[in-house]
Amino acid sequence: MCYHIFAFIAGFVLDLLIGDPHFIPHPVRLIGSLISFLDKRLNCGAGYNISEKKLNLIKYKRGVLLAFTVIFATFAISVIIIVAANSINLYAGVIAEAVMTWQILATKCLRVESMRVYDALRTDGVDAGRMAVSMIVGRDTSVLDAAGVTRAAVETIAENTSDGVIAPMLYTAIGGPVLGFVYKAVNTMDSMLGYKNDKYMYFGRFAARLDDVVNFIPARISAYLMIAAAFIGGRQFDGKNAYRIFKRDRFNHASPNSAQTESVCAGALRVQLAGDAVYFGKLVKKKYIGDGLREIEYEDIKRANRLMYITAFLCELLSVAVMSLVLILL
């Protein structure tokens, strides 16, 4: 167990130092390629003279098949890598676990990508900001003003604090890199297939629901860790307001999980997030999160990243403490 703890810590440190360099092939991109391959072959018409209801059922079943195929492939490959590394020697096994943990986490990557939006807004204006934020959000960014661009970036940081940092960290702490990568596979399927449009309404429904299930507890743990981070993070955060907005607005989202950390972030920064947005040319009505006690500004992107980092460190400390306690008790 102590070697697993060391690999867990080393992976987190590697993530903070290296992040996700584009010149290094990332396993999540391979998972995405598999999803895309299966999507093209399974998400298609089922034949002529078939009712819409039956066609939708077939699409749903094919979506379930895709999900289990991706999960099984991810699980199998992860196990093979761990077993092969440990068959060499203990040190190879620890290195493999550390590298896999590094690639599971996205702490620095989230900061780097969101700070590109900050840099673009600050130096080149709103047009550059729209282009930069379009790389990390799914909404139509062409209609956003500077506040809208900033709001989209802050929302992405807040939501992905759970999806990209805390949840994969917790699953890796529980089940090692194998379970961590299974979680990443589920999360990647949701990001690629979980749209409520004609193409994915039924085909991507199982993946979206599965993502809701696996993120249910981590999203709430993330929220409470972020509240703690707001209390200890300094004067730029309002811990009391973070808790107040969380209790009031944590369900102001179509997803049962997304508003958990978004509400904390909005309260901690004393700004208003969410609201209506345009997706694929269609206006989607959304509830607001937060009170907007002040106007949002591009400096809030930096503040949201600081809040995310403190939350990540708290989760790492908590995970290591629990793993160490289990080691002592066993």
Closest CA relative to residue 30, chosen from 81, 65, 93, 64 = 81
Q: What is the pTM of this model?
A: 0.93
Length of the chain, please? 330
Q: How confident is the model at residue 46 (pLDDT cuts 50, 70, 90)?
A: low
The answer to whether residues 311 and 222 touch, using CB atoms and an 8 Å cutoff, is yes
Q: How confident is the model at residue 25 (pLDDT cuts 50, 70, 90)?
A: confident
Neighbouring residues of 224: CB distance < 8 A, sequence distance ≥ 6: none
| Mean of all residue pLDDT scores within the chain | 93
- Per-residue pLDDT, 138: 77
Indicate the SS3 state at residue 100. Answer: helix
Q: Looking up tokens 């999360």, which residue turns up?
A: 187
∠ at Cα 118 (130, 116), nearest 5°? 75
Across-strand partners of 60?
none
- State pLDDT tens for residues 96-111: 999 999 999 999 999 9
- Crossing angle (nearest 10°) for helices 126-133 and 107-124: 160
pLDDT, average across residues 29-54: 85
Neighbouring residues of 243: CB distance < 8 A, sequence distance ≥ 6: 227, 264, 267
**Highest mean pLDDT out of 17-31, 133-147, 173-187, 250-264:** 173-187
Across-strand partners of 255?
none
Indicate the SS3 state at residue 274. Answer: strand
Work out the number of other CB atoms within 10 angstroms of the CB of residue 5: 16
164 vs 166: CA distance, rounded Å: 7
Is the pLDDT at 171 greater than 90? The verdict is yes
- Per-residue pLDDT, 70: 98
Indicate the SS3 state at residue 218. Answer: helix
pLDDT, average across residues 17-29: 88
With pLDDT > 90 as the criterion, what percentage of the chain qualifies? 78
Specify burial of residue 43 (Cβ count, 10 A radius: 0-12, 13-18, 19+).
middle
- State pLDDT tens for residues 122-138: 999 999 999 999 988 87
Comparing 14-18, 52-56, 188-192, 235-239, which segment has the lowest mean pLDDT? 52-56
Indicate the SS3 state at residue 137. Answer: coil
- Per-residue pLDDT, 143: 84
Neighbouring residues of 275: CB distance < 8 A, sequence distance ≥ 6: 151, 286, 287, 288
Q: How confident is the model at residue 86 (pLDDT cuts 50, 70, 90)?
A: very high
- Per-residue pLDDT, 17: 96
Is the pLDDT at 47 greater than 70? The verdict is no
Is the pLDDT at 282 greater than 80? The verdict is no
Is the pLDDT at 280 greater than 70? The verdict is no
∠ at Cα 318 (313, 320), nearest 5°? 95
Indicate the SS3 state at residue 283. Answer: strand
Closest CA relative to residue 277, chosen from 298, 250, 254, 245 = 254
